[in-house]
Structure 1
Amino acid sequence: MNIPNRITLSRILLIPIFILLLILPLNWGEWSIGDNTLPVSHFIAALLFIIASATDWIDGHYARKHNLVTNLGKFLDPLADKLLVSAALILLVEIGAAPAWVVIIIISREFAVTGLRLVAAGEGIVLAAGKMGKLKTATQMIAIAALLLHNFPFSFVGFPFATIMLYVALFFTVLSGYDYFAKNIHVMRDSK
């Protein structure tokens, strides 16, 4: 397994730690930020999420720079993104920071695209993420980090950055899903 794939695997391995930080009743205190409070465990979970998200850029950059792009990497990288984002969004619903309907749409798109990837894989085709999918992932990760940080630092000025970013992420999620299926409809049409 090459270095980029190991980095991607590390992102997957960080997910259970991230989940535990948000679901365990950790009483490490909290900070007042504007009109909100930020539990220390949420801050640490947000940092872990940001680190895990950064590995998405690092592994891809390293793989392209050193010509280490593999079919395993093309499969693992989007899977790691989907697992991380899905876990975070579900937990944001659990803690009351994101509306369930938005999360359902985002996760449904992820399942649909994964289904298309599986059909393509059955035909011997590996579908790599496109630019629109990368934009979708970036906006989702920014929105999730902002929600985990309880809108810090924007909460001091009352600007709902985290909420706005969640809806921007929803927009790009739907748009990229449409784009993905439109560009790859031949996979469904030509499947045996």
Structure 2
Amino acid sequence: MTASNASAAEPRISNWNLPNAITVARIVLAPVFMWMLLADDGSDGALRWWAALLFVVAIASDGIDGHIARSRNLVTDLGKILDPIADKVLTGGALVALSILGELPWWVTIVVLVREIGITVHRFIVISDHVVAAAWMGKLKTLAQAVAISLALAPFWVLLGDWVLWVNGVFMTIAVLLTIASGIDYVVTAVRGSRADRQVKR
């Protein structure tokens, strides 16, 4: 059997699978928790706690859909594209909401959004050639953002005191630094890959 016949015999993985459905659900949940957070002007009431819980559940499901996709051989190009988009929608929505409430400087939100949107746009530009999966530093950045935003959303300062705000600031600073570092790493990797492709085509 030739290589072409072997590849043709391999079953094509459908984009309509459980991991992709979970990823789409994460995107849909973003405006829901944003509404819950902004509905009572960010007070420390029940809606604020529910918004924080919903964000944690949505962002934690990233590991669930990834595990299911890998363990059941359901990894698709669509999933590789939607997964980082879902992360960006969730984290971006949370940062915008926190800035609207005056709890996070707008420059932090802008820096993060510029990095995330820029890389997403680049992924779509090169999608005809190849799908760019998330690198290890990008995944570490996503984890740091998830932890920092979760702490910022949950009003733990009501229970533990204002010192919690300092802790939140430290975690958010780490997340921003990793966001910038991973963005630089992505650009460097993309440039090297582009140069390598040009050398191969010569």
TM-score, L = length of structure 2: 0.82
Q: Give the C-alpha shift of residue 187 in structure 1.
A: 5.7
Instruction: Tell me which of the two structures has the higher relative contact order, counting C-alpha pairs closer than 8 angstroms and 6 or more residues apart.
Output: 1
Query: Against the structure 1 CA distance between its residues 161 and 154, is the aligned structure 2 distance closer, same or farther, given a 3 Å change threshold?
Result: farther
Contact 1:109 1:174 survives alignment (8 Å): yes
Identity %: 40
Contact 2:80 2:131 survives alignment (8 Å): yes
Q: Which residue of 1 aligns with 2:115?
A: 109
Q: Which residue of 2 aligns with 1:7?
A: 22
Higher strand share: 1
Q: Which residue of 2 aligns with 1:135?
A: 140
Contact 2:157 2:163 survives alignment (8 Å): no
SS state at 2:28 partner: helix
**C-alpha distance in 1 between matches for 2:114 and 2:168:** 21
Q: Give the C-alpha shift of residue 154 in structure 1.
A: 8.3
SS state at 1:97 partner: coil
- Can you give the 5+ residue segments of structure 2 that lack an aligned partner in the other structure? 1-15
Q: Give the C-alpha shift of residue 92 in structure 1.
A: 0.4
Q: Does 1:177 align with 2:192?
A: no
Equivalences for residues 27-176 of structure 1 within 5 A: 38-122=44-128, 124-152=129-157, 155-156=160-161, 158-159=163-164, 160-176=166-182
**C-alpha distance in 1 between matches for 2:133 and 2:145:** 18
Contact 1:63 1:69 survives alignment (8 Å): yes
**C-alpha distance in 1 between matches for 2:76 and 2:157:** 38
Q: Which aligned runs of 4 or more in structure 1 are off by greater than 4 angstroms? A: 151-154, 186-191
Rg: which structure is higher? 2
Contact 1:8 1:59 survives alignment (8 Å): yes
- Can you give the 5+ residue segments of structure 1 that lack an aligned partner in the other structure? 31-37
Contact 2:40 2:47 survives alignment (8 Å): no
Q: What is the RMSD of the two structures over their aligned residues, measured on CA atoms? A: 2.1
Query: Against the structure 1 CA distance between its residues 108 and 3, is the aligned structure 2 distance closer, same or farther, given a 3 Å change threshold?
Result: same
TM-score, L = length of structure 1: 0.86
Q: Give the C-alpha shift of residue 25 in structure 1.
A: 3.3
Q: Which residue of 1 aligns with 2:12?
A: none
Q: Give the C-alpha shift of residue 68 in structure 1.
A: 1.1
How many residues matched?
A: 181
**C-alpha distance in 2 between matches for 1:128 and 1:167:** 25
Higher helix share: 2
Paired amino acid for 1:78: P
**C-alpha distance in 1 between matches for 2:158 and 2:179:** 25
